[in-house]
Structure 1
């Protein structure tokens, strides 16, 4: 089923009245094309396969039918997502509708402690949003069971299979009761997705909002043929040209993402990074800062970028080409969303021109090659560690970096003279040295006292053992004397008895 003109409203799709009121309050009145085509069939309980790019409104397309079914019937909904970030964003979107209806949600993801997730699951949530790996772990522990699930959604199925989640997905689908409703969403439709659908779905309706691999018409795509050593200089020139635009930069590896982010900070731009080496709290801080424009530029890898749903990203830069052509479509899908215009620029080395041909065949479009601009001179790389906020970057901390935190220094302002600051620094250093020597001497005395105390205790223990041994020896000697006397007495009595018996025998 190909894309149709969307002239309807949510009220024309068969949605319940209480959910329509919530949608109206939230400002949702006109559905997107994928919502307009999927919601009616999904409300009837049919299995659905939706092929659409990110930013097309897929979350509400499967979320509204799931919420309506759970609210009016008993059961539980399950949503599988490839990454933690996407799972959290799905939960945030669904809470806008499920929350006012009194439906509880639980997020089950890896990378964080499972204690809160276990307590949330024991609270019997109506909808569970999970990554396959952590969900299978909790199933193995007997904490979560699938017997109440009657509707399941697989979001970004192609990415989950690329990440190696096919075995846990098959196990999850095989353990859910057979009367379930299954919805599958993917940007592409490889053979593995088709075989999975034929194995676990019942006569699904297939809705294709855009042909496989097509990119947004609102995204202008360009490429530069550049040597690998000149990539950073080209990036410097482009960031200066688009210095006011929100920019997302893709790297092939996590180590490359760290290096690129550090070099961009050295250029003077506000930058954050997101990749698999970042903890869950660091990822959340990075995403929130990027969404709130605290950071103008984000550097990401393909896996970590799943779930980046930031509005109005103006520019996407492929610093490295992706490993497969489908990831190119996912990358540039972060811009040109919701009717806005965006731009995607790719850096291509001379040896990667064959990869560009594969991408062009997939998107059914030839990419224009631009001539290189005047490249700025190469900047000196910063020697400070790769982190978003270093103490040396703060002028106040820079002066006092490495000092004892108990000695509050003077601020570097116009009312403090250099002489006063120098004298303060000398006094602070002398005081710190005195404190260090005093601590060292105390530690030496403490060590000597410990040795002395140990020696005294050992001596007391030895005395006690000697007393016990002596006591045992005395008791043993007394026992021997008693036993000897007793045996002598016994032998004497026996001899006397034998003597009497002999006399008696002779008398007879």
Structure 2
């Protein structure tokens, strides 16, 4: 019998041979930093808190330990996450590895018919992947029993709390067995996460791939200060300059609908995802964005949490996020898995404090770019006065050449 060729990168993490073979067949060769550090701890059954940005391989960081431990345990696994799209994508990733080992999953999400989800529960899945709202609904209907959960994952925990799911999460945690493993993953660690961990986790090991709030590596971050009515024309120029996949964030679903119409009028293939779109429409938009059917995807923050698409060249913050920490989640959609990417933000002149808040969060300054000539401009554009003053102040702080020593004593009198 020919032995499967295991990935040498994953081979030293304590992963079982059958699971290694499944990983190898999926062409995964080297674990990401969060995978390399989380998998061995997860396999030991210890609680852990992983701080890492989106696009760093978090799904397999918890998926591999969960699958392997459930193969030896009688209990089940539960993954809680913020959005329907993310639930579907996490399920696909876990199925890709676990289905070859006979792992059965069930996805419980709002916005989809309850019937098929209830039938999936009747088939006794080993792993439930759910959004908090739908899972609480099923608990209250006594459709699902969580008494046998041995491994719990809270994925994108900060976002779940941002979206107001704290009451549902606490209700779920109260009915789970105390003697379980909990793995929590988050891009930021606000005080609410600290409190949740203190109350519901057992001496968790902290794994911090990037400090909380750190932006994804290899993302070039820029900002244009521009009047609100000129944003669409600036986007038109950028879409002509950047020819790859572009993800555009708006603050509201109304703004997303309007901008989608504007981008379509420019001649670009564009789709939209926001709370007014059905689950089927969201899936079609995401799949079309992945395959290249749509070059531009316009999204709101809540809907965009499930976007896991490699090769996004540019992320545009058409509107700055309402919550500063959402900036990190947004720009993490580009430069995924070590690839390079660019994030451009549009800010109006009265949003300078918002930009400063973002810079404080990510511990770095954003490069302020001059607005190029736009269609229908009546006069050449100039940098805002406050930007010119900032640049002048920075130049004054920089010494020119080497500092000269003050010469004293005998040498001074020569």
TM-score, with structure 1 as normaliser? 0.72
Contact 1:8 1:31 in 2 (8 A): no
Pairwise CA distance, 1:377: 2.7
The answer to whether structure 1 residue 92 and structure 2 residue 87 are counterparts is no
- 1: CA distance between counterparts of 2:351 and 2:256? 20
Q: Considering only CA atoms, is the larger Rg found in Structure 1 or Structure 2? A: 1
Aligned in 2, Cα 1:198/1:8: closer, same or farther, shift over 3 Å?
A: farther
Which residue does 1:45 correspond to in 2? 45
- 2: CA distance between counterparts of 1:112 and 1:46? 34
Q: What 5-or-longer segments of structure 2 have no aligned partner?
A: 1-6, 378-414
- 1: CA distance between counterparts of 2:320 and 2:159? 17
Write 1 or 2 for the structure with the bigger share of helix. 1
- 1: CA distance between counterparts of 2:171 and 2:225? 45
Contact 1:8 1:36 in 2 (8 A): no
Pairwise CA distance, 1:215: 1.1
TM-superposition CA deviations, 1:55-82 (whole Å, max 9, x none): 0000000000100011121110000010
Contact 1:248 1:298 in 2 (8 A): yes
Counterparts of 1:442-461 in structure 2, within 5 Å, are: none
Which residue does 2:113 correspond to in 1? 113
Pairwise CA distance, 1:8: 7.2
- 1: CA distance between counterparts of 2:317 and 2:232? 12
Which residue does 1:332 correspond to in 2? 331
Counterparts of 1:315-354 in structure 2, within 5 Å, are: 315-354=314-353
Which residue does 1:139 correspond to in 2? 139
Contact 2:217 2:338 in 1 (8 A): no
Contact 1:250 1:317 in 2 (8 A): yes
Pairwise CA distance, 1:337: 1.2
Which residue does 2:406 correspond to in 1? none
- 2: CA distance between counterparts of 1:8 and 1:358? 43
**Aligned to 2:77, what secondary structure does the other structure show?**
strand
- 2: CA distance between counterparts of 1:371 and 1:33? 36
Contact 1:257 1:299 in 2 (8 A): yes
Pairwise CA distance, 1:91: 0.2
Which residue does 2:239 correspond to in 1? 239
- 1: CA distance between counterparts of 2:37 and 2:374? 48
Pairwise CA distance, 1:216: 2.1
RMSD over aligned Cα, in angstroms?
A: 1.1
TM-score, with structure 2 as normaliser? 0.88
Q: What 5-or-longer segments of structure 1 have no aligned partner?
A: 1-6, 379-508
- 1: CA distance between counterparts of 2:85 and 2:196? 24
Pairwise CA distance, 1:29: 2.6
- 2: CA distance between counterparts of 1:350 and 1:343? 22
TM-superposition CA deviations, 1:461-503 (whole Å, max 9, x none): xxxxxxxxxxxxxxxxxxxxxxxxxxxxxxxxxxxxxxxxxxx
- 1: CA distance between counterparts of 2:323 and 2:23? 38
**Aligned to 2:337, what secondary structure does the other structure show?**
coil
Which residue does 1:227 correspond to in 2? 227
**Aligned to 2:183, what secondary structure does the other structure show?**
strand
- 1: CA distance between counterparts of 2:323 and 2:165? 18
**Aligned to 1:213, what secondary structure does the other structure show?**
coil
Which residue does 1:263 correspond to in 2? 262
